[in-house]
Chain A
Amino acid sequence: MIGLLVGVPLLGAAVLLCGGRRLDRTGHWLGTLLAAVSFAIGAALFASMLGEDAESRAMHSKLFSWVPVEGFQADVAFQLDQLSMTFVLLITGVGTLIHLYSVGYMEHDPGRRRFFGYLNLFLAAMLLLVLADNYLLLYVGWEGVGLASYLLIGFWQHKPTAATAAKKAFIVNRVGDAGLAIAIFLMFTTFGTFAFAPVLSSAGDASEGQLTAIGLMLLLAACGKSAQVPLQSWLGDAMEGPTPVSALIHAATMVTAGVYLITRSGAIFNGAPDAQLVVVVVGAVTLLFGAIVGCAKDDIKKALAGSTMSQIGYMILAAGLGPIGYAFAIMHLVTHGFFKAGLFLGAGSVMHGMNDEVDMRRYGGLRKYMPVTFVTFGLGYLAIIGFPGLSGFFSKDQIIEAAFAKGGTEGWILGAVTLLGAAITAYYMTRVMLMTFFGEERWRQAPTPSPAEPDVEPAAETRGEHAEPHPHESPKVMTIPMIVLAFGSVFAGGIFKAGDSFVNWLEPVTAFEHGHSPVSATTVTAATVVSLVIGVGAAWFQYGRKPVPVVAPRGNLLTRAARRDLLQDDFNHVVLVSGGTHLTRSLVYVDHKVVDGAVNGTAATFGGLSGRLRRLQNGFARSYAVSMFGGAAVLIAATLLMRAV
């Protein structure tokens, strides 16, 4: 039954990718159906799980023995507990909605069947990742997610930017994957196994140094998949993929994998405070990093991408807090899954109606033309900024509270960072909202060729097209998923919060401690709301009160840096690329001179030797006989000598 969860979308991927053109007309519905079937199985398992006691809800099913070697046992086995269940429902649920949306979004794309095949593969890989009962199988899913994301980001591979973005995502992810691989190696040497149950239950036996090493390597892995500093650079470029892919990567799959990994490995991090501290720092830095980048982007999808980075930063930070934060990390992950999927689908809907224009400076006043998108996007917006009563409010508020509860100076710093992050979130999301749906209808202005602005992101290819867009609402197949997600954005947080139901649900897996915050919960909530108001207000002052210029102003130094993703690519280029180039050049030099020299030298030596020995073979029987005779004499002498000594 658990295997079917993975198997159904995997089957879909196989059928769609191998099926050929005859599936072109029905393939997308098949893919959507199989995603829905997987969701139905997940829901059924969830229902049966609810019938059990909290402690006995975990299910386990071994499919087959994968690597049965003495001392190295790896099984293909699944573990479905409350944590996995949460992810399963999120992945399949949101995933199915995105499938449905894609039916409309990709309607005119010639590669639609392939696209759905990849989507199904993505689901299968992600499900494998969260259902594996050991780190090795998790690694398979982890790599599968990396592969599927590569295929999907580069789906429009005819665009060089998309191909480059796909490669970038893949390569940056490899760095993280190496971390996971090393973590698994370390686990095996430390614990002799890599199955969750024995590793996590005996984590206390290992020394703190070992746990710290494993924890840091797991964090590296999480940074790669979840786009955390310093491996964040791929996320922005990943927007080159079709918008549903962005929604899938950002909401339901991929970026959540890192949070899952850290939460799942909680027992390891609990025993390694230093590693936890690094996790928290990474989360806090990314939170601000993503938020600042989000403020400066004019590309609606990139603004949302910065937002994702920032929100995942919140989750990582919460996960780094230990048992006081795990549950809230996951809770924010789920609510974020709803509203970020809604926001991305909304952005896709806007682009759909605007000839694939992505520059928000060429939007404006769209609320009249696409009311459903406006309302659903608006609800997602309210949720993400943490408007009281909506999903994001509950989950983010809990994280801020837990950050304060970390205690000491750290607690204050983290609390301040999270509050600041909330304010910036409010600012940039309001900016997106205002620039897109309010204000003048800037798309009516004839597109003037923009002066060469090296700092400005090149927007969509369609910029050069002079056809004026005719904004319109998207078809039902696209709006219905948005509406469903909007419901989630509004209510999920409240339901989770009511009676601490979500925390209680996860507690058997992640453990939970009530944090003792130095400031009262009411104060935190008030501070959150205040920062929210400040952020919204600032955005309104800048973008609501006065018209938005179609051509981006030059901006101050920070803005320009933020437009360049805070110089992440420049940093990578200078430090990593040129460093790597120099390293490889010197290695090539060594290879040429030393390795090849040795090889060629050896070959030349033997060749010369061969040429010389060959001359002994002169063709005269008499000299052959002499050599035989001499050889015989030597051998006899040697034999006698052996006896003598």
Chain B
Amino acid sequence: MTGVTGMTQVASAGGTSDAVPSLWTIAAAGDKLQAPSIEYGKLSPVLIVLGAAAVGVLIDAFAPRKARYSAQLFVALAGLAAAFAAVIGLAASGAGTTKAQIAGMGALAVDGPTLFLQGTLLLVGIVGVFTFAERRLEPAGRGGRVDSFAAQPAAVPGGEGEQQAVKAGWTTTEVFPLLLFAVGGMLLFPAANDLLTLFIALEVFSLPLYLLCALARRRRLLSQEAAVKYFLLGAFSSAFLLFGTALLYGYAGTVNYSAIARVISGADAVSDPVLADTTGNDALLLIGGALVVMGLLFKVGAVPFHMWTPDVYQGAPTPVTGFMAAATKVAAFGALLRLLYVVLPGLRWDWRPVMWGVAILTMLGGAIVAITQTDIKRLLAYSSIAHAGFLLAGVIATSEDGISSVLFYLAAYSFVTLGAFAVVTLVRDAGGEATHLSKWAGLGRRSPLLAAVFAVFLLAFAGIPLTSGFAGKFAVFKAAAEGGAGALVVVGVIASAIAAFFYLRVIVLMFFSEPQADGPSVAVPSVMTTSAIALGVVVTVVLGVAPQYFLDLAGQAGVFVR
């Protein structure tokens, strides 16, 4: 990535050369090549997490099978916690506000939104590790307790190899480094300050997620199908992103965010003669910008790029679903915000109407299709699509309030999501998790506490006051209305009303229906899942009852460095 920025610098500096710049010409102009300067301190959260991930790979390669689980758990938690401490330290030193800067030779922006989202992502990662590490739900094998991941992913589902691996009590401890890599990519994603870094970060966090999706211990075929679908469609969307990047480079002669923005606004002219035919071509800009945005809309699960969501959410192991649903949304919205606010503000009048349409379709589409879902994981998937629509309404506000409201919403939403999926892991019958809604009937009579906790999460999803969902939705809609998107808010409220129906339907089902005779039982989790759920409830209630401090925090973090 640094190579490319260096290339453009060289190209613009050595404008006399007619040849297309390549690594060879750069190497030839050796004296002009600057050694990249890396602000290790500013990038420390990312470096720590990726470092921990590398350590995790080594552990899996060399540590004895028995010791892997605890070692991985320790490394993952320590790495994430240390990275979180680094984020706090950076924020305390003013890196988010007064000392916000572009780091890594223009590749990464370390500013308020970056730090806020990185902090959120790291907390989500920690809670994700808790749910990944839960080993009390599955019946213990001969080799000890096992988690929700496949005993031996490479074995054919239902084949002999799998049976032996299950009998041997093997577990896939690789999930921890995979999660760390994903988190590392996600930390980079909202911080990316040029299009290539964006793409690489996307791949860094997407590939581990594809793998993780395939690792379910039960219903492995469904899980593998989900992973393949996710991978295929993800690759397709990556192609969009990459193609858009190329077109934007053709337009601006650079992939750097602020440089593109300057070209769009006319502050800088592109002097590269190689690009003389394409620069300033608005079609390139519009199509390229649209393609890049679409690549991101795929990740947030916006209509019409949402169709992978229900299948993948349903098929993936539930801890992965929870982590992915929360963290991907945070990272992708962060990147989308930066792209739209830093690169394309000059095109506001072009992309806003289109985004209006996408937001309306996403809100209504998610809410309406969720009505007829019968599987709790698919229901939550469509719910996440509707929430992506609400978040888009905040994005469209194109104001500082828009940024901070989206940041707040993301923080609030991710903990509700993690908690809700963690609850889903606990409701089990003989076939594993009992995700069909009919099995949840009367859950409130058998396990009132668990049902009450889930009801809290559902109320937060529905945006009922005194939950974080209300505060977040209110902030987003307020920003959107003040940003001139009043009609969007009306649609959003209608979609919320539709969504309230299916959330409340689950509550009614849990509390006011007769339990089934062969209904599921509620597993007693270890302290891991318990703390994940408890944290979700606490965050939901605290952000709902006293949101002001956190709104202020998000408000301070609402400025992008350019």
Contact = CB atoms under 8 A, between A and B. Distances in A.
B498 interface: yes
B236 A636 contact: no
A642 B350 contact: yes
Interface stretch (A94-102, A139-147, A621-629): A621-629
Contacts of A606: 368, 371, 498
Interface stretch (B61-69, B301-309, B423-431, B535-543): B301-309
Interface in B293-315: 294, 298, 303-305, 307-308, 310-311
Interface string A606-625: 11011101101101010011
A452 interface: no
Interface string A70-98: 00000000000000000000000000000
The CB with the most chain A CB atoms within 10 A, among B286, B307, B501, is that of B307
A636 B501 contact: no
Nearest to A611: B372
B291 A607 contact: no
A619 B232 CA distance: 13
Contact of A639 (B287, B305, B365, B372): B287
Contacts of A603: 501
A603 B294 CA distance: 32
B233 A635 contact: no
B236 A625 contact: yes
A617 B310 contact: yes
A631 B236 contact: no
A639 B228 contact: no
Contacts of A610: 368-372
B354 A628 contact: no
B236 A628 contact: yes
B290 A627 contact: no
Contact of B368 (A609, A621, A631, A640): A609
Contact of A627 (B291, B307, B373): B307
Main secondary structure of the interface of B (DSSP, over half): helix
B235 to A, nearest CB: 10
A603 B497 CA distance: 11
- What does DSSP make chain A's interface, helix, strand, loop or mixed? helix
Contact of B369 (A613, A627, A640, A642): A613
A638 interface: yes
Contact of B354 (A611, A617, A625, A639): A639
Chain B interface bracket (under 10, 10 to 19, 20 to 34, 35 or more): 35 or more
A642 B282 CA distance: 12
Given A606-B498, A607-B372, A628-B298, A638 B353 contact: yes
B240, B371, B501 pick with most chain A CB within 10 angstroms: B371
Contacts of A632: 240, 290-291, 294
B119 to A, nearest CB: 32
Given A610-B368, A614-B372, A635-B294, A625 B232 contact: yes
Contacts of B487: none
A609 B233 CA distance: 26
Contacts of A609: 368
B286 A621 contact: no
A636 B283 CA distance: 10
A630 B294 CA distance: 12
A643 interface: yes
Given A613-B369, A621-B229, A632-B240, A642 B353 contact: yes
A642 B371 CA distance: 34
Given A603-B501, A625-B232, A631-B304, A643 B369 contact: no
A644 to B, nearest CB: 10
A132 to B, nearest CB: 34
Contacts of B310: 617
Contacts of B303: 631
B494 to A, nearest CB: 10
A614 B290 CA distance: 27
Contacts of B370: 610
B305 A631 contact: yes
Contacts of A625: 232-233, 236
B350 to A, nearest CB: 5
A633 to B, nearest CB: 10
A619 B226 CA distance: 10
Interface in B60-117: none
Given A609-B368, A624-B307, A639 B350 contact: yes
> Which of A625, A635, A642: most chain B CB closer than 10 A?
A635
A645 to B, nearest CB: 10
A643 B286 contact: yes
Contacts of A616: 307
Interface string B351-381: 1011001100000010011111100000000
Interface in A572-630: 603, 606-607, 609-611, 613-614, 616-617, 619, 621, 624-625, 627-628, 630
Given A614-B369, A617-B310, A628-B305, 15 more contacts: A607-B371, A609-B368, A610-B370, A610-B371, A617-B311, A624-B233, A625-B232, A628-B233, A635-B290, A636-B291, A638-B353, A639-B286, A639-B289, A639-B351, A643-B350
Q: Which 3 A-B residue pairs are closest in the complex by CB-CB distance?
A: A631-B304, A624-B307, A610-B371
28 contacts: A603-B501, A606-B368, A606-B371, A609-B368, A610-B368, A610-B370, A611-B372, A613-B369, A614-B373, A616-B307, A617-B310, A617-B369, A621-B228, A621-B233, A624-B308, A627-B304, A627-B307, A628-B236, A628-B237, A628-B307, A630-B304, A632-B290, A632-B291, A634-B304, A635-B354, A638-B353, A640-B283, A642-B349
